């Protein structure tokens, strides 16, 4: 009976190690898929913009000023998560928790700022759909909305990671959760910076 239990424990440990090894490659595959999706969106934006300019229907407008603050926030989040990972690798659990909690708050603030940005667009007469809407404005809403949805998923991951950190799940030998969280956030942060610059140039 004991030998059976030992074998089961061994199998469980092996499966757990395999899942750990597969986690990061699977995340990179997901990131590659998301990158292709946004590459398609930005390509569609350029094609639409070109044809609309030729027809004289493209509306030029400035991006919401609060998007500049959003850009600063995502850079700070990446830095905080980098420091959280470095801290946990050095077994500085307290500092890691502090960086994780700060990143979580900023992630939520980014969501609020995006909503405020859309309000700013509406106040300027830039609508998503309906009467008075324009293709240029609709593209900005679609691109920023899709990014925000993936960022909200990141906020949820951050909250879960922070909770696990407080429950003592992470240390210098076990930090995969924080590593995966940081990697995903580095992606959505870099993606936002790219989209912000792209939309600022191609107005």
Give the CATH architecture of domain 31-201: Up-down Bundle (1.20)
User: pTM for the whole thing?
Assistant: 0.88
Q: Is residue 59 within 8 Å of residue 81, measured between CB atoms?
A: no
Tokens found for residue 197: 């610059």
Please report the pLDDT score of residue 73 as a whole number. Answer: 96
pLDDT lower than 50: segments of the chain: 2, 4-12
Q: List, for residues 33-92, the tens digit of each pLDDT value.
A: 999 999 999 999 999 999 988 888 888 889 999 999 999 999 999 999 999 999 999 999
Q: Cα–Cα distance between 120 and 136 in angstroms, integer?
A: 15
Please report the pLDDT score of residue 202 as a whole number. Answer: 86
| DSSP 3-state percent helix, strand, coil across the chain (nearest 5) | 80, 0, 20
SS3 134: coil
What are the extents of the domains in the chain? 31-201
Please report the pLDDT score of residue 172 as a whole number. Answer: 83
CB atoms within 10 A of CB 18: 10
Burial class from Cβ neighbours inside 10 Å (0-12, 13-18, 19+) for residue 26 reads exposed
Q: Cα–Cα distance between 36 and 187 in angstroms, integer?
A: 13
| DSSP code, position 202 | -
Burial class from Cβ neighbours inside 10 Å (0-12, 13-18, 19+) for residue 40 reads exposed
Following DSSP, what letter does each residue of 148-190 receive, concatenated? HHHHHHHHHHHHHHHHHHHTT---SS--HHHHHHHHHHHHHHH
Distance of CA 99 to the CA centre of its chain: 17
Please report the pLDDT score of residue 14 as a whole number. Answer: 61
Q: Cα–Cα distance between 177 and 165 in angstroms, integer?
A: 9
């Amino acid at each position: 009976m004991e030998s059976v239990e030992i074998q089961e424990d061994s199998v469980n440990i092996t499966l757990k190690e395999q899942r750990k090894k597969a986690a990061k490659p699977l995340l990179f595959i997901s990131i590659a898929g998301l990158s292709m999706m946004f590459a398609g969106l930005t390509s569609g934006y350029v094609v639409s913009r070109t044809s609309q300019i030729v027809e004289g229907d493209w509306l030029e407008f400035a991006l919401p000023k609060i998007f500049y603050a959003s850009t600063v926030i995502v850079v700070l989040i990446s830095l905080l998560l980098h420091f959280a990972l470095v801290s946990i690798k050095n077994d500085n659990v307290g500092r890691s928790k502090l960086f994780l909690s700060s990143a979580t708050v900023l992630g939520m603030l980014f969501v609020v700022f995006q909503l405020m940005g859309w309000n700013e667009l509406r106040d300027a007469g830039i609508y998503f759909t309906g009467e008075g809407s324009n293709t240029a404005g609709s593209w900005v809403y679609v691109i920023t909305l899709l990014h925000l949805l993936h960022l909200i998923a990141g906020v949820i991951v951050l909250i879960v990671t922070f909770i696990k950190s407080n429950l003592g799940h992470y240390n210098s030998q076990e930090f995969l959760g924080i590593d995966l969280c940081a990697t995903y956030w580095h992606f959505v942060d870099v993606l936002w910076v790219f989209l912000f610059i792209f939309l600022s140039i191609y107005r």
